[in-house]
Amino acid sequence: MNLRDALEAQTVDQLKARLKLIHTDQRPTRKGDLVAVIAHALLEGDLAPIWKALSDLDVKAISEAVHAWSGRFDRARFRVKYGALPAHYESDPYRYGYGRRDRQVEPSYLPLFFYPDEMPSDLRARLAEMAPRPEANRIETTPQAAVPETFRLDDEDTQGYAVWRQSTEPLVRQDLPALLRLIETGRVSVGPKTGVASAASLKLIEGLLVGGDWYRPEDDEERRRWAGGPIRPIKPYAWPLLLQAGGLAKIDGSKLALTPKGRKALGEPLESTVKLLFERWQTKGSPDELRRVDLIKGQTSKGARLTAVAGRRRAIADMLAACPPGEWIHLDHFFRYMRLEGYDFAVTDNPWKLYFVDANYGSLGYEGSASFDILQARYALAYLFEYLATLGLIDVVYTLPDHVRGGFGHCWGTDEFAFLSRYDGLLYLRLNALGAFCLGLSDSYVPMLDAVAPLLRAHPDLTLTLLREPFAAEELVLAQYAEPRADGRWQLRPEAAVASAARVEERGRLRDFLVQSLDGALPDALAHFLAVAEERADALRDGGAARLFNCRDAAFAAMLCTDAATAAYCLRAGERLIVVPQAKLNAFQKALSKLGYVLPETLIPS
């Protein structure tokens, strides 16, 4: 759109109002003449008098549009960056003219440059040198030493809330294999339609995770539903859903069962499995994270028209990829940069169907209720805290959610809310090395491994002594291959070792576990035990399906196994028995017909 096209789209009254802003003695009345005068003044005339009359915010609006926003004025991004809008854009949209007299005494010159929010391309080109380049958007980071130890609601809050800081890479290194092995035992119950773990399974999973859930059981005591409700579970809720979305687990009746891919993942590098889970959650993860912000009602109503979750997740992941790895970022600064750089997303196409407390009075369709703080920010907090932090992609600093994050107090029915979501306590995040790898920011991943004391000491009688308390994942592996004795030692079970070695996806698992867990090298007796188990696992091999035929006598069986026509397709299995591999049944039937015989009618290949 050029300037003349934009002017031609205006009414005569609108053109006359713009002409009054231009320093000229010409006062034409015909539309064509008005367009010509205004266009000449803006494209060829002296703009210095007009430029001097612009307010500081007016100049910033023009600069952003010219240099950063492709000729458009973005009200939301401008307000986020500068804290206010130019007077022209603060006007009442339902009042004719450019502004309200009580809000704007001096006339605004911005209507000369925007129509209504778009700047004509030829005018933009002329202003490129005149308008100063706006300050570049930068993500504000926080030095580690400046991350607070407590969170205070205000200056009068002398006690404050405890603040927890958590590096998540070491957690997922223990939690992921532990969850896979727990599912392998068939002890995780889920809803057959939702895939959500049962209350008993959530408790079981929490006990398995290193450090448990983000919040402790005592943090959830006496929480009232009308004030926000329980803040747990988070990690135990997310893990079964992540594993199902990633294809590592599937619903089998009322239980979760490992898929072949899940069993294979136990022997795969952790980073490749986590990257798979992240990528699959981005496109296939269910349910919608907004459902976990359960104080926002109406999400399942027919007219809610929630947007596709894949687009929302992609926008947040793109924003995360723009963050400097290893740097703490306050969530307020994260959201500010997200909006400034256009990583925004919509949550619903019809906010009138979403509401607090009452569908009529508390609808989010009312002005200001469907704000970024209420919808986009709360969705992002759930996605970041419940899924990405659980997967180990981001480190987190968090506190209790009560009264930490506002933005909803002006909405009807929220007077008693202590928080809007259980994720409101997330204060800072930090993209770690695992996250950078999963987001494609680095081609390789170097694990962050804490020094861990050896777990086991081996004895010549194939018993094991615990040298420390095992992690949950270690205890599950130990229980799979050994059994506790009365004297406190663990006795390796030969049948379990052979059975494990016989399964392709488990072969080497016991050996790897012992090598990593033992104090010192693998003893000769233990190495011999493993070698025997692997040898016995290969003693028999599956030759495939076959048919067993009972011949009328031994002579006929011998003839079939020696005759040139049929001998290649059958084997002697007894005095009167022969075996024909299923894959050779067609060829055997044709060879029989050459000798004048047929298969039983029920076995003739189709």
450 domain-assigned: no
pLDDT tens-place string over residues 251-281: 999 999 999 999 999 889 999 999 999 999 9
CB 510, CB 500: distance < 8 Å: yes
Domain range for 65 is 3-127
411 with 477, same domain: the answer is no
97 with 183, same domain: the answer is no
449 domain-assigned: no
Domain tally, the chain: 4
Q: Quote the distance between the C-alpha of residue 531 and its chain's center.
A: 42
14 with 155, same domain: the answer is no
30 domain-assigned: yes
* Structure confidence at residue 472 (pLDDT): 80
324 with 429, same domain: the answer is yes
**Which two tokens mark 517?**
């867990």
Q: Give the span between the Cα atoms of 294 and 280, in whole angstroms.
A: 24
How many CB atoms neighbour CB 58 within 10 A? 19
Mean pLDDT over the full length of the chain: 92
**Which two tokens mark 325?**
């790895």
* Structure confidence at residue 200 (pLDDT): 97
510 with 407, same domain: the answer is no
Q: Give the span between the Cα atoms of 403 and 424, in whole angstroms.
A: 8
296 with 358, same domain: the answer is yes
* Structure confidence at residue 24 (pLDDT): 82
- How buried is 87 (Cβ within 10 angstroms: 0-12 exposed, 13-18 middle, 19+ buried)? buried
* Structure confidence at residue 602 (pLDDT): 62
Q: Quote the distance between the C-alpha of residue 359 and its chain's center.
A: 30
136 domain-assigned: no
* Structure confidence at residue 279 (pLDDT): 98
* Structure confidence at residue 464 (pLDDT): 95
pTM of the model: 0.80
198 with 307, same domain: the answer is yes
CB 588, CB 570: distance < 8 Å: yes
* Structure confidence at residue 100 (pLDDT): 44
CB 280, CB 245: distance < 8 Å: yes
302 CB contacts (<8 Å, ≥6 apart)? none
Q: Give the span between the Cα atoms of 564 and 497, in whole angstroms.
A: 45
Half-sphere exposure of 585 (CA within 13 A, CB side): 16
143 domain-assigned: no
95 CB contacts (<8 Å, ≥6 apart)? none
431 with 331, same domain: the answer is yes
* Structure confidence at residue 604 (pLDDT): 58
Eight-state DSSP code of residue 71? T
Q: Give the span between the Cα atoms of 382 and 374, in whole angstroms.
A: 12
At residue 590's C-alpha, the angle toward residues 585 and 592, to 5°, is 90
HEC profile for 297-366?
A: ECCCCCCCCECCHHHHHHHHHHHHHCCCCCCEEEHHHHHHHHHHCCCCCCCECCHHHCECCCCCCCECCC
400 with 375, same domain: the answer is yes
Last residue of a domain, one of 93, 127, 161: 127
* Structure confidence at residue 154 (pLDDT): 81
406 domain-assigned: yes
CB 320, CB 436: distance < 8 Å: no
220 with 287, same domain: the answer is yes
Query: Residue 431: helix, strand or coil by DSSP?
Result: strand
Last residue of a domain, one of 537, 559, 584: 537
pLDDT tens-place string over residues 220-256: 987 777 788 899 999 999 999 999 999 999 999 999 9
86 domain-assigned: yes
144 domain-assigned: no
* Structure confidence at residue 603 (pLDDT): 62
User: At how many degrees (to 10) do helices 270-284 and 309-321 cross?
Assistant: 140
207 with 265, same domain: the answer is yes
The stretches in the chain having pLDDT less than 50 are 92-104
514 with 557, same domain: the answer is no
Last residue of a domain, one of 127, 161, 181: 127
